[in-house]
């Protein structure tokens, strides 16, 4: 797979091997649609589709016209002009948004990748918000050992307004259930709306790209740069989620010795969380606790794990281990055990993802702001358990 010459030059200047980068690019996909169908799909009014999505995303949840994604509208409009096209595109691995890119010749990968500027024609620019949202928020991006938001959450929930209310789980008996005597009351587990509402908050960033870059560089490289910011975006969300869980987490106490953390104590945190009825799916901590764990000889034993070879944190005790920034509320002393199957939900305000285009003619720069409104709600506070390293 080759890449455009200008891209190769830029990659070389960045110290990235163009040949190695090209290996990661998937070849263009073909879809079994006729030329007439492709033209009909490409002729769809994307500005109108975007506006329809924004209007329908804000409808009440019981309204039959409500939709939760831009793809919902694209699916309906695509099927209206080319029945069966969505299914055929799916067989080629393309969803309705990707089919629009395909039909308009807006390749984002490979030798034929379109220049950045082609995304911002009057006909195409309504596709840009979805493109950025995917790069920033949905693309599976990983950082060495650091948690991404999807590592923490049990689910994503779309809300239709500024304020969301989560579900609280309460149980009179915890996880234990037993025989019930005749006419005796049954053990109760209650699902109720949270008393405290959660207000979504805006997160965003500004991309600034010079006119020269827009003319000369393809969407290949734009994807690299935005994905880099997407990784940081997801890491920041993970830190926010960790802070939210820490606030109500049950307390394991402190380690036995000041400034020390044994593998037995880490296992104790996980086991005691299990004794309380929770299956630890994630162990979160910052760089300092990581170093304290690595002070234990068995943590680096090549007979047990390949951390010396891979540099990645092993899944010690069968649990995913991930880092959060030392600037999080976990700080330099706390570890957090999380039952990720139930602990927390990420709420996203429908239609709140805003990606716009403007020009600063004084500096000959394109401005691409992106923002989205989000919130976390805790489903079950005890699904997180904390351990502190003794000062």
- The phi and psi torsions of 94 (rounded to 5 degrees) equal -115, 135
183 domain-assigned: no
181 domain-assigned: no
pLDDT at 380 over 80: yes
180 domain-assigned: no
pLDDT of residue 389: 96
Q: Which tens digit of pLDDT belongs to each residue from 157-174? A: 877 766 666 666 666 555
Find the mean pLDDT for residues 94-105: 89
Find the mean pLDDT for residues 91-117: 79
Q: Are residues 321 and 201 in the same domain?
A: yes
65 domain-assigned: yes
* 135 vs 360 pLDDT, higher one: 360
Domain boundary among 218, 237, 269: 218
359 domain-assigned: yes
Q: Are residues 38 and 62 in the same domain?
A: yes
Q: Are residues 273 and 355 in the same domain?
A: yes
pLDDT of residue 259: 94
Q: Are residues 95 and 240 in the same domain?
A: no
pLDDT of residue 105: 83
Q: Which tens digit of pLDDT belongs to each residue from 189-202? A: 777 766 666 788 88
The per-residue pLDDT of the chain, averaged, comes to 82
371 domain-assigned: yes
pLDDT grade, residue 96 (50/70/90)?
very high
Rounded Cα distance, 336 and 318, in Å: 15
342 domain-assigned: yes
Domain boundary among 166, 200, 218: 218
Q: Are residues 103 and 232 in the same domain?
A: no
What is the domain-level CATH number for residue 276?
Answer: 3.90.1690.10
Q: Are residues 154 and 104 in the same domain?
A: no
Rounded Cα distance, 255 and 173, in Å: 29
182 domain-assigned: no
Rounded Cα distance, 357 and 127, in Å: 12
Find the mean pLDDT for residues 175-188: 72
Q: Are residues 131 and 229 in the same domain?
A: no
Q: Are residues 351 and 273 in the same domain?
A: yes
Q: Are residues 149 and 30 in the same domain?
A: no
Number of domains in the chain: 2
Q: Are residues 125 and 78 in the same domain?
A: yes
pLDDT at 8 over 90: no
Q: Are residues 61 and 146 in the same domain?
A: no
pLDDT grade, residue 9 (50/70/90)?
low
pLDDT grade, residue 130 (50/70/90)?
confident
pLDDT of residue 141: 46
Which domain, by its residues, includes 387? Answer: 142-175+188-211+219-391
Round to the nearest angstrom and report the end-to-end CA distance of the chain. 55
> Which range, 69-78, 103-112, 347-356, has the best average confidence (pLDDT)?
69-78
Q: Are residues 326 and 245 in the same domain?
A: yes
Q: Which tens digit of pLDDT belongs to each residue from 215-263? A: 777 777 777 777 777 788 888 899 999 999 998 899 999 999 999 999 9
pLDDT at 16 over 70: no
Q: Which tens digit of pLDDT belongs to each residue from 43-81? A: 999 999 989 988 888 787 678 888 878 999 999 999 999
pLDDT at 143 over 80: no
Find the mean pLDDT for residues 24-46: 81
pLDDT of residue 140: 47
């Amino acid at each position: 797979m080759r890449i455009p010459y200008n891209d190769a030059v830029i990659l070389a200047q960045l110290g990235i091997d163009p040949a190695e980068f090209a290996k990661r690019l998937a070849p263009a996909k073909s879809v079994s649609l006729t030329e007439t169908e492709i033209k009909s799909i490409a002729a769809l009014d994307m500005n109108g589709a975007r506006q329809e999505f924004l209007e329908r995303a804000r409808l009440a949840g019981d309204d039959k016209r409500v939709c939760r994604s831009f793809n919902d509208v694209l699916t309906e409009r695509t099927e209206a002009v080319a029945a069966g096209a969505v299914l055929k595109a799916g067989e080629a691995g393309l969803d309705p948004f990707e089919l629009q890119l395909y039909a308009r010749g807006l390749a984002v990968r490979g030798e034929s990748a379109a220049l950045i500027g082609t995304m911002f024609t009057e006909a195409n620019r309504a596709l840009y918000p979805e493109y950025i949202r995917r790069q920033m928020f949905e693309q599976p991006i990983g950082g060495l050992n650091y948690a991404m938001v999807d590592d923490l959450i049990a689910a994503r929930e779309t809300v239709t307004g500024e304020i969301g209310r989560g579900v609280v789980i309460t149980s009179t008996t915890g996880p234990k259930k037993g025989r019930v005597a005749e006419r005796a009351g049954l053990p109760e587990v209650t699902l109720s709306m949270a008393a405290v509402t959660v207000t979504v908050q805006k997160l965003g960033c500004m991309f600034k790209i010079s006119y020269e870059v827009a003319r000369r560089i393809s969407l290949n490289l734009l994807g690299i740069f935005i994905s880099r910011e997407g990784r940081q975006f997801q890491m920041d969300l993970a830190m926010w989620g960790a802070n939210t869980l820490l606030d109500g987490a049950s307390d394991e106490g402190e380690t036995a010795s000041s400034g020390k953390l044994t593998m037995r104590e880490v296992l104790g945190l996980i086991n005691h969380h299990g004794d309380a009825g929770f299956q630890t799916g994630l162990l979160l901590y910052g760089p300092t606790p990581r170093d304290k764990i690595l002070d234990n000889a068995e943590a680096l034993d090549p007979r047990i794990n390949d951390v010396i070879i891979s540099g990645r944190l092993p899944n010690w005790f069968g649990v995913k281990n991930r880092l959060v920034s030392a600037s999080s509320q976990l700080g330099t002393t706390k570890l957090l055990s999380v039952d990720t199957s139930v602990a927390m939900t990420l709420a996203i305000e429908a239609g709140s993802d805003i990606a716009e285009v403007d020009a600063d003619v004084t500096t000959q720069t394109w401005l691409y702001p992106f923002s989205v409104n989000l919130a976390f709600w805790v489903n079950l506070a005890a699904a997180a358990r904390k351990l502190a390293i003794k000062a």
